[in-house]
Structure 1
C-alpha cells in the first residue's frame, strides 16, 4: 500500500479588522503577511509551519473560540517577556475560569481570540516551536479523524483526549475530549487542510468522506475546494495545493 503524503494544516480566523489582527500575529510569530483577494495569510517559513489566514466578518465575537493557540517559553523569564510583548502589541488579559494555581497566562489578541502563554519546562510541549500547539475542543473521534486526514502521527490517545504532531514534531494539535464547549452558529476559528501537489479535488474530497467527513458545500474559487465538517461537526475547508 502506498504511503500517503502528509497534508498541511492551517487555521482560518474571522476578524472584524483582519488587517489589524493579521499584523498582530505576523509580529508575534515573525512572519510576513500576504494578501490574496479578501484573505490575509501569514506566509509559512517551512512546510511544517501551521498556515494561518484571516477573513473579514461583520459579526462581533460573542463566545469563546472552541480552539486556541499555545505559545511556548524556553527560559524562566521568557513567559513574562512574551506576555509583556503581546500586551504592548494590543493583547489583553482574559479570565476564562483559569484557577490561581495554573501557571499559564491567558490573553486575547486584539479581537479577543484566546491564547495561552505556557511557562518554561512544560514537558508536553518540549521540543516544539514558539507556536507549540493548537488546543482544540473535540472528541476522540475527531482526533482520530484528523490524524488520518492529515497523515500525521497520533502522539496521545488517553481518556478521550488525543493529539497529533506535525511530521517534524514542531507543533501539536490536541483535542480535549468531553464535555464540548458551547458554540454559536458559526465558529470564528476553523481548521484548513491543504492538499498536496498531484492530488485532485474530487479525489481528496472522496478520501475525506471515506474517513468520516461530511461535505457542507463545494467551493469554486480562490483555491478553496470544499467546505466540510469533521465527526464533531466542526467545519473546515479543503484548500488546493499552495
Structure 2
C-alpha cells in the first residue's frame, strides 16, 4: 500500500505545485503529488481554518553532501520557503524551514541511512508511543522496523527504496494526518 501524507492547505493546488517542483515530482489532479519512483504520495486538502501551531507531521528532505544540503536550502528559500524556529538547538546539523503555508520541514545533513530514499528522506510523525505506532504501521504497510527506542522508531520499505516513516515521542500529537490507501 502506498503511504499517503495529507496536509490541510489554504490553497491546496498551489501548495501541491510548490512541493512537486521542490521534489521534482508530478502533480496529479487538483492537489495530489506523486513521486516518479518510490516515495510517499502527498495530498493537499482544503483547510477548515488557519494553521494553528506546529504540525504533528513533517517531511525531512535528503542531502547527498554538505554542499547539496546548502544548495537545497538555497533552492527552497528561492522558492519561498522560510527558516523556522521550532525550538531546535543551534547545534543540530539539519536546517529547519517552512513551506509557503508554514508547514515545517527539515533539510537533513547527509546520512547513509537515507541513501536510497529519493529527495524525501522521511515522513516524521509525532506519537505518544513511537514503538507502538511503528509496530502498527509496519504491519499495515508491510515495512521493516529499522530502529525502535522509547523516544524514536523508524520504518522503511522492504525494498530499501523510498522514504522512511519515523515516529518521535510527543505528549499530545494530533492524530489523523497520516493515511494509508489501498494500492
TM-score by length of 2: 0.90
Distance 2:172 2:73 in 1: 26
Shift of residue 176, structure 1, vs aligned partner: 1.4
Relative contact order (C-alpha < 8 Å, sep 6+): which is higher?
Answer: 2
CA distance in 2, matches of 1:128, 1:182: 25
Question: Alpha-carbon deviation of 1:108?
Answer: 0.3
Indicate which of 129, 132, 140 corresponds to 1:141: 132
Where structure 2 has 5 or more consecutive residues not aligned to the other structure, the ranges are none
Q: Does 1:111 align with 2:108?
A: no
Number of aligned residue pairs: give it: 180
1:54/1:149 CA distance change after superposition, 3 Å: same
Q: Which residue does the alignment assign to 1:102?
A: 92
Q: Take 2:11 and 2:46, find their aligned partners in 1: how far apart are those partners? A: 7
Structure 1: unaligned runs, 5 residues or longer: 1-6, 197-242
Query: Where does 1:1-242 land on structure 2 (aligned, <5 Å)?
Result: 7-35=1-29, 39-46=30-37, 48-120=38-110, 122-138=111-127, 139=129, 140-170=131-161, 171-177=163-169, 179-181=170-172, 183=174, 190-196=177-183
Contact 1:152 1:167 in 2 (8 A): yes
Is contact 1:9-1:51 (8 Å) kept? yes
Higher CA-based Rg: 1
